[in-house]
Amino acid sequence: MLHQNAELFLDKIQNNSIVVGVLGLGYVGLPLAVTFARNGVKVLGFEKSSAKAESINRGENYIADVADSDLAAVTNETQMLEATADFSRLKEVDVALICVPTPLDKFKKPDMSYIEAACEDLATYMTSNMVISLESTTYPTTTEEFILPILQKNGLVHGQDFWLCYSPERIDPGNKSYKTHNTPKVIGAIGEDARVLGIALYELAIDTLYPVSSPRVAEMVKILENTYRFINISLINELTLLAGKMDIDIWEVIEAAKTKPYGFQAFYPGPGIGGHCIPLDPFYLEYIAKQYNFDLTMINTAGRIDTIMPHRVVVKISFSLNKQKKAIKGSSILFLGVAYKPDINDERESPALKIMDEIAHKGGVVSYHDPFIPEVVIHDGHRYESVPFDDQVISDADCVVITTNHSNIDFEKVAEKAKLVVDLRNAIKENHDNVFKL
Cα 279 to Cα 24, 286, 300, 351, 376, distances in angstroms: 21, 13, 12, 10, 19
Cα 52 to Cα 23, 56, 188, 190, 226, distances in angstroms: 13, 6, 31, 33, 29
Q: Measure the CA–CA gap between 108 and 281, rounded to whole angstroms.
A: 10
The active-site residue, picked from 99, 119, 165, 277, is: 277
Q: Measure the CA–CA gap between 343 and 372, rounded to whole angstroms.
A: 7
Q: Do 273 and 266 meet the contact criterion of CB atoms below 8 Å apart?
A: no
User: 99 an active-site residue?
Assistant: no
HEC string of the chain equals CCCHHHHHHHHHHHCCCCEEEEECCCCCHHHHHHHHHHCCCEEEEECCCHHHHHHHHCCCCCCCCCCHHHHHHHHHHCCCEEEECCHHHHHHCCEEEECCCCCECCCCCECCHHHHHHHHHHHHHCCCCEEEEECCCCCCCHHHHHHHHHHHCCCCCECCCEEEEECCCCCCCCCCCCCCCCCCEEEEECCHHHHHHHHHHHHCCCCCEEECCCHHHHHHHHHHHHHHHHHHHHHHHHHHHHHHHCCCCHHHHHHHHCCCCCCCCCCCCCCCCCCCCCCCHHHHHHHHHHHCCCCCHHHHHHHHHHHHHHHHHHHHHHHHHHHCCCCCCCCEEEEECCCCCCCCCCCCCCHHHHHHHHHHHCCCEEEEECCCCCEEECCCCCEEECCCCCHHHHHHCCEEEECCCCCCCCHHHHHHHCCCEEECCCCCCCCCCCEEEC
Longest dimension (CA), the chain: 79
Q: Do 418 and 400 meet the contact criterion of CB atoms below 8 Å apart?
A: yes
The catalytic residues are 277
